[in-house]
Amino acid sequence: MFDRNYIYEKNFTNVLNVKKEIFGVFILNIFILQGKTLNTRFKHVQDLDISFIIPTYNEAKNIANTLNNIIKYTPSEFRYEIIVADNGSRDDTRDIVEEYNISLVFNDLVTVGGLRNLAVRRAKGHILIFIDADVLLTEEWKKHIHKAVQSLKRDPLQITGSKCGMPDDSGWLENFWFKPLIERKVKYINSGHLITTRELFDRINGFDESLETGEDYAFSQAAKALNAKIVNNPELLVWHKGYPKTLGQFMKREIWHGVGEGKTLRTIKTSNVAMISILFAGLHGVFMVGILVMGNLTVSIGGGGLIYGLCLFSAIYKHRVKTIPTMMIVSFLYYIYFACRFLACVPFLNLWLTAKHHR
């Protein structure tokens, strides 16, 4: 049982048959119980090469696979640690994590950016690797991570990582919507697989804890302001198991991602997606006025045509679609996408979504 404001870290030991005596300062602040573990705050006594940081919230079905994957594909030459930062999971996430020789921090009162910052304060690695609980490393990642780490050591002012790929068993929604986006040039590195140095992280002052979503974009922009490089590295291949597979999951995801952009008038004005979504809603207003108020079929057709044109243009420009069947499908998905993003900009709905997430 954990108190709401309680932040803790568990440190586990694999040492067996250790005597109960504590020999002076050499093992000060380390408590060892035969066959048991003990809650304590760990004193950082040595530097490591890498700190893996994984935020979690109800990830019982994914977390063991992700942890085993990190252990399997991290080269033995690296000294590393894994820190799981939990946001108040109500399933067995923390129980599963406690079975591993890793660190666990907990706070259910912060945003995901705050959660990552909390974990970094416990981290001992020179290189920080942020991955989501449903992201899996690959043999390709293992093959190329050494070169990426060496690059970061030579030039600490950079953020690297890669867009999360999709496994072979991906469904139609993943292939039509997400796969084309993976292949596009990036302006920022998604925090699902983001790698940087502790030096740059500290200079940026971490993730913006006030943001419900979009904290990775803000992090990348802050890095650019320091003349840091943003380097997408496709060689660091990872799989994302959490892409939506149904329209319902897709809608839920896009509404949630739009919450950060629609939080205030300022964030709406600085977001192209939010502004286009409001235009999208406005065109529906024109369409409805033409039918219900004016009884003017021309106005209605014009409004409807502009709506479809907006979705079709987005499909061609953003997804580079080339065939008519693909255009139809992706245009339909853009219709849903803009509708969800507009809903996230509605003030009362935005506040309700934010409050619901923290309950």
Q: CATH number of the domain that 121 lies in?
A: 3.90.550.10
Give the model confidence (pLDDT) of 105-144 as tens digits.
999 999 999 999 999 999 999 999 999 999 999 999 999 9
Query: How far is 97 from 87, CA to CA, in rounded Å?
Result: 13
Q: Compute and round to an integer the Cα radius of gyration of the chain.
A: 23
Domain end (from 176, 206, 240): 240
Same domain, 296 and 211: no
Same domain, 274 and 147: no
Return the pLDDT at 347.
65
Same domain, 62 and 180: yes
Question: What is the percent of the chain where pLDDT is above 70?
Answer: 82
| C-alpha separations of 273 from 278, 314, 355 in Å | 9, 11, 23
- Token pair belonging to 105: 């921090």
Which among 111, 7, 5, 16 is positioned nearest to 55, based on CA atoms?
111
Mean pLDDT across the chain: 82
CB 243 within 8 A of CB 170: yes
Same domain, 233 and 252: no
Residue 151 confidence (pLDDT) above 90: yes
CB 179 within 8 A of CB 170: yes
Return the pLDDT at 81.
96
Q: Is 156 exposed, middle or buried (0-12, 13-18, 19+ CB in 10 A)?
A: middle
Number of domains in the chain: 2
Same domain, 281 and 325: yes
Residue 38 in domain: yes
Same domain, 41 and 156: yes
Residue 19 confidence (pLDDT) above 70: no
Residue 176 in domain: yes
Domain end (from 189, 223, 240): 240
- Token pair belonging to 243: 């892409």
H or E element that contains 356: helix 347-358
The more confident residue out of 259 and 26 is: 259
Same domain, 252 and 225: no
Residue 284 in domain: yes
| C-alpha separations of 290 from 44, 139, 298, 302 in Å | 67, 57, 8, 9
Domain end (from 240, 265, 299): 240
CB 230 within 8 A of CB 204: no
Residue 195, helix vs strand vs coil: strand
Same domain, 201 and 221: yes
- Token pair belonging to 95: 């129980």
**Number of neighbouring beta carbons within 10 Å of residue 57:** 17
Residue 159 in domain: yes
Same domain, 85 and 64: yes
Query: How far is 170 from 173, CA to CA, in rounded Å?
Result: 8
Tell me which residue has tokens 């709506």.
307
Residue 223 in domain: yes
Return the pLDDT at 33.
29
CB 260 within 8 A of CB 341: no
CB 232 within 8 A of CB 161: yes
Same domain, 188 and 287: no
Which residues, other chains included, contact 12 with Cβ-Cβ below 8 Å and sequence gap of 6+? Answer: 37, 98, 100, 101, 102
Q: Is the dihedral of CA 198, 131, 78, 224 positive or negative?
A: negative
Residue 19 in domain: yes
Same domain, 204 and 257: no
Give the model confidence (pLDDT) of 61-93 as tens digits.
999 999 999 999 999 999 999 999 999 999 999
Phi-psi map region of 21: left, alpha, beta (phi>0 left; psi -120 to 50 alpha): beta
Residue 162 binned pLDDT confidence (cut-offs 50, 70, 90)? very high
- Token pair belonging to 123: 């981290």
Give the model confidence (pLDDT) of 172-190 as tens digits.
998 899 888 776 777 889 9
Point out which residues pair with 125 in neighbouring strands: 48
Tell how strand 48-56 and strand 125-131 pair up. parallel
Residue 20 in domain: yes
Indicate the residue type of 96.
I
Residue 167 in domain: yes
User: What range defines the domain where residue 312 resides?
Assistant: 247-358
Same domain, 19 and 116: yes
Which among 125, 44, 120 is positioned nearest to 85, based on CA atoms?
120
